[in-house]
Amino acid sequence: MTTVPASSPLPRFPDGFLWGVSTSAPQIEGAVDEDGRGRSTWDVFAAQAGRIKDGSDARVATDHYHRFREDVALIQELGVGAYRFSVAWPRVVPDGAGAVNGAGLDFYDRLVDALLEAGVAPVPTLFHWDTPQALEEGGGWLRRDTAEHFAAYADAVAARLGDRVECWITLNEPAELTLLGYGLGQHAPGRALLFDALPAAHHLLLGHGLAVQALRARGATGIGIANSHGPTWPASDSAADTAAADLYDLLLNRLFADPLLLGHYPDDGLAALLPGPVADDLATISAPLDWYGINYYQPTRIGAPRPDAAGPTDFAGIALPPELPFAPQKIEGYPRTAFDWPVVPEALTELLLSFRARYGASLPPVLITENGCSYDGIDDTERIAFLDGHLRALHRAIEAGADVRGYFVWSLLDNFEWAEGYAQPFGLVHVDRTTLARTRKASFHWLRGALRL
Secondary structure of the chain as H, E, C letters: CCCCCCCCCCCCCCCCCEEEEECCHHHHCCCCCCCCCCCEHHHHHHCCCCCCCCCCCCCCCCCHHHHHHHHHHHHHHHCCCEEEEECCHHHHCCCCCCCCCHHHHHHHHHHHHHHHHCCCEEEEEEECCCCEHHHHCCCHHHCHHHHHHHHHHHHHHHHHHCCCCCCEEEEECHHHHHHHHHHCCCCCCCCCCHHHHHHHHHHHHHHHHHHHHHHHHCCCCCEEEEEECCCEEECCCCHHHHHHHHHHHHHHHHHHHHHHHHCCCCCHHHHHCCCCCHHHHHHHHCCCCCCEEEECCCCEEEECCCCCCCCCEEECCEEECCCCCCEEECCCCCCECCCCCECCHHHHHHHHHHHHHHHHHHCCCEEEEECCCCCCCCCCHHHHHHHHHHHHHHHHHHHCCCCEEEEEEECCECCCCHHHCCCCCCCCEEECCCCCCEEECHHHHHHHHHHCC
Q: How far apart are CA 226 and CA 335, in angstroms?
A: 26
Q: What are phi and psi of 34, to 5 degrees?
A: -105, 150
Q: How far apart are CA 45 and CA 63, in angstroms?
A: 20
Q: Name the residues annotated as catalytic.
A: 173, 370
Asked whether the CA dihedral 64, 18, 341, 4 is positive or negative, the reply is negative
Q: How far apart are CA 353 and CA 288, in angstroms?
A: 21
Secondary structure of 203-224 as H, E, C letters: HHHHHHHHHHHHHHHCCCCCEE
- The amino acid at residue 2 is T
Q: How far apart are CA 91 and CA 372, in angstroms?
A: 27
Q: Give the number of other CB atoms < 10 A from CB of residue 435.
A: 7
Q: How far apart are CA 399 and CA 396, in angstroms?
A: 5
